[in-house]
Structure 1
Amino acid sequence: MHILTPIQRLPLRFVLVTPFIILLIVTVTITGYLSFHHGQLAIQDLATQLLNEVNVRVHENLRRYLDELLEVNFTNQNSIELGLLKTDNLMTWETYLWRQIMVHPTVNHISFGNTEREFTGVERLDNNQLVARESGKSTGYNYTTYPLNEQGQRQVATASMPNYDPSLRPWYQSAVSAGKPVWSEIFPHFGAPTLMISLNQPAYDKERKLLGVINSALRLSQIGDFLQQLQVGKTGQVFIIERSAMLVATSSGELPLRKIADKQQRLSAIDSNNGMTASVASYLQKNFDDLHQINASQFLTPTLVGEKLFMKVSPYQDNKGLDWLVVIVVPASDFMSAIDKNAYTIMLLCAGALLIAIIIGIWSANRVTRPIAELMTASWQIAKGEWNHQLPLQRQDEIGELARSFHFMATQLQDSFLLLEAKVEERTVQLAQANSEITCLNAQLQSENLRMGAELDITRHLQQMVLPKAKELLQIKELDIAGYMEPATEVGGDYYDVLQKDGRVICGIGDVTGHGLESGVLMLMVQMAVRTLLNSNIPDVETCLKVLNHTLYDNVKRMNSDKNLTLSLLDYEHGVLRLSGQHEEVLVVRRNGTVERIDTIDLGFMVGLESDIETFLGHKEINLAEGDGVVLYTDGLTEARNAQGRVYSVERLCRIVGEHWHLSALEIQIEVIADVRQHVGKQKVCDDITLLILKKNLMAEIEA
């Protein structure tokens, strides 16, 4: 209330004028923002289109340049296979290669080296001069260079390198190692300031015997010349790098290599003398950590050195080992001049409209507020309780209508006050009576809660009483047995029991659908029925399950309940375990900790769901040697979830049991339950957890 009072005291003149001004400011601001925003979007769309078009052109030309080498190697491979070129006689190759390099002006080098240390090739130099290079018996295995005239005829040799063996060269060895066409690493040309890349392809005969290696090479300066011809905005650039950030070619005119100690070395884009190239390469290296992470085209808008850039990075790859990144970048300032001019115009329009609105608003407010001020004085008198104060009812305009309405309202308000006082007194009496009734109901509810709590405690106590006691389990000398059950609520629906009679050990484990009081009562019924049937000398557990199902089915129908349960019974005698009934998987653990999982789906059916399940019943016999045993459990254990929603799982139970099988049954149980607790953490357990472990004792332990 104190916060609103100053606002309520604002003059009406101010209240009338201010919204118009605010509305105008908001409207002009939104209009200017939307105009600027849509201009930005238009600029971004334009930049995207430009970058995409340039990217397509770069990829197409890269493909055109590099496919020349593929075509050359493919043609030479076919010529060898057709017998047009002999790999053991390279004398005929020189004229063929000269004609071939004349047909492919973008290819700078074509050669072939066989397995007999012989080599022949033709290369195009910087001045477009063609030279032949040869090494073999005729040259004493010296790498000799011969200039070629316009007819492809040799001139006097100009250079020679002794003891040349092509099979020791990296281009030869990489092709032989790959067994297919493969690109070489990019390398500086030994005689010119440019980078080279070659495509090396092994040649085989029909029996896949190596004949030699075909080699064709390209000067990457041709790609740089093409990039310089591209127009990317006013100051945009295009450059190509490897995944290691080493520069391949650039539109800036910068050479992608440096001369250090009279040796040409490749240049990293990060160390480029061109500021935009270096900053963009550094940004990519930092933003992606590893440039190998860029597996698809990326459109980026970073701000580098105080300037926003539009950038497109796209991989260029093939199946022969080529893996480059094409980077196209253009400053946003190349497009922003029109946007800045438009923003200035909008600011001028906003200022002019605001000034006009203030003048019109003040004039309009004075016309409205003067007569209202006269009516306000009269209304204050009425507010003080002077109901008979006269209002300016004689006016015939809107203010007069307002005064007459106000007078009628004051009369009605006076009558309402009197009626309201009477109703408040009546309502007070009714509320006092209702409060008394609620107090009585709360007392009854507390009494009922106490009664129900006592009933649940009794049922839970009964459940714990019928579970097998440690003293009973210790009397079974041949087996080491440990059992554990924890209900999810006050009363659980899980069941397990262990009985010994006439040398037989009968074990049962089950899971009633749901949990709570009704499931707990059904569990007690099952426990009593199983014990009664087994003490009546039922010959086998299948018959026991059949009779138990029929009895339980009738009881469930009488109770109008939809509960049923999974139940497995195990009959152990003289090292043989007879298993029947459908429940969770039974884990058979051998002495060495190996776990076998037995599915019970075909050994029975849900108990209490159908009146007769005899056709579904089956059994499986398991032989237990000394130190072997079984682990029984309910799904509340294996499906216990942690905070991330992951279940405990049968696989984890098998691993924990296997790791601790050398311990006693009770110690194994403790380890499993502790591991479940660690998995669940502080997460609430939503189902009952039951675990029963049986382990056949060693003979020495039984005799002791």
Structure 2
Amino acid sequence: MKMRRSSKVKALSLQLVLIVPFVLQIFGAVGLVSYLSFRNGQKAVNDLAAQLMERSSGKVNQHLDSYLSVPHKVAQINADAIRMGLLDTRDRQTVGKYFWHQMQAYDVSYIGIGLTTGEGVGAARYDGKTVTMDDWDARPRNNWISYALNDQGDRTRVLETLDWSNFEQPWYTGPVKAGKPVWSPIFVVNYPNQVYIATSAGRPIYDANKQLLGMVSIDVSLLKLSDFLRSLAISRSGQVFILERDGTLIANSGQAQPFSLVKSEIKRLEAINSPDPVVQQVAQQVQQRFNGFQNIAGSQELRLKLEGEPYYVHVTPWRDEYGLDWLVVMSVPENSFMAQINTNTRTTIWLCFGALAVASVMGIITSRWIIRPILRLNRASEAMASGNLNQAVEQNGIEEFNILATSFNHMARQLRESFTALEQSNEELEDRVEQRTLELKNALGELQRTQAQVVQSEKMSSLGQLVAGIAHEINNPVNFIHGNLSHVQAYTQDLLEFMQLYQQQYPNPSPEIQATAEEIDLEFLQADLPKMLSSMRVGTDRIRQIVLSLRNFSRMDESEIKPVDIHEGLDSTLMILQHRLKAYPERPEIEVIKEYSSLPHVECYAGQLNQVFMNILTNAIDAMEESNASKSFQKLQVNPNRITIRTSIVSDQWVQIAIADNGPGIPDLIQQRVFDPFFTTKSVGKGTGMGMSISYQIITEKHHGKLECLSTVGQGTEFLIRIPICQQRQSVALVGGRQEKG
């Protein structure tokens, strides 16, 4: 009798059936409440963000109103004092001291006057701390004098003189052209140790007869606006910045300055080019949104995304009656406002997990009480599945379970009998599988060895072809020419001797022969031809040396550390750079002094070490050539350029190579960054800034050595390379040091 097989149906665990409803109900209720709470909180945060940014923007506008109203008030006071005769503009010393007293009372950077006579006086605080006095007259040259002052405002000594004309200054020409008080364009000056960025409030001054006497000028430092913006502390990741309508930055709350300093030249930055990524991206998106900053008429509330993170952005125009028209932009990441809501959300999620755990525990307790007999049957089944066939299930008072237990015990007996027969067959199969597995392992190992040999052979074949190509294309023709030159010299000497013998035997040649001899200048040809052949021989010797140097220098195909003659690498590098060391019409030859000590062969990557020599020597030549541009040929002959290379053994285990030059030297600030990636003082297109960084990695990481830069401005630069003679010994020492530290 055949029993019909029941169709296989995917069933659920009884524990799941009991637990899941509890979990879903609790999880769904908590999740819905959390979602509604999050949405309401987010709406409240949006309203709060708008109010906060509006208040902060109001603070900035209020500060601008207060800070930038002072210059025009001071200008009005001074203009009235001059008009009423309280200040005599002819007495510049008294007027200057009056301005000094005003500098103690007002937060401005400069107070001065420029008269129609070309004279003027002013008190200045260019460095933000010390007040100095500027005084000038109408002389054509050296008419402007800057004085240091004591604590009473009296002039003590001259600081600086230069040519000056107030008729060329924007603070003077602007009010004259406008006929009223106006602001000058923002200007920048690079004073020693201080960058001065300011705008000047200019105001015409008149006498009692309403005749123009000149202009009052009050400067206000715009760098202080950045200090104020930083003090707002709106958000750690937020930014507040002020810009002109053309997009030029005036101030910002970040650490980046609103200007760049390149070779002592100050350039104001546009907001879209700011080094601060938040300022840059906000400015770019606002400019694109309104098709230019000039088109922003009123306050704007924006939501922008910067690198995928949402930001609140508030843009407010600020203007005054004297011509300033700026934009105040405030940006705050949404995360700054959503932090508390996100914290509550995380708390809610943990509550959901807690409710899930409670529901799961209750379901487990209930299910165990119901399915304990089934679990015993399940454990017996699992034990049989694990290979323990000696299992039997005891019967209890549940009728359905007794039927199931009887069937299970019967099945277990049949399985034990079948398993005994299967074990015998399995032993035979295991022997066969083990044998085939061993064969496959051997075949795989052989395949891997063959593959490695093929790859290595391919590498060596490629390198061999490259070297063979160079030897065939360069060495063979040069050697052919060099070898045949001796024969050519011998043949030429025989021909010349034959010619001399012919001239002795026939001193009176025919007119035609005589004319041809004069045409080709036979005497000069006889004298010059041996010299030319000798020069050709010297040239071929030179080419052979260069080719040999190139082969010694490259060694880029050598991926393993090998003992190498350091002096050979240095000489090869110098040979390659010979075209830059030789004399030129504008300078003598760069002298190379070799102070080589007796060195053993050093274990190193020869090609990479030669690359370090090349980088250091090339930089030395570049620095000396740049310094030579301002020197005459005669001056260079008296003190010629010089490169000194010294080698020595240090502590019996290290080799030191010192490469020094007598060039201009490297300033301390640049010297601290000389090994930084992408740092270069060369102009665009002449250097990538990676040469010395790569050299530092080659010495310190590849060779476990040291690379130092010692330099004095005006005296020269010296690079010290120190590498171990034996790399294996150094590696063992490093590993031992790490183990001791561990």
Please report the TM-score for the alignment, with normalisation by the length of structure 1. 0.45
Q: Which has the larger radius of gyration?
A: 1
Please report the TM-score for the alignment, with normalisation by the length of structure 2. 0.43
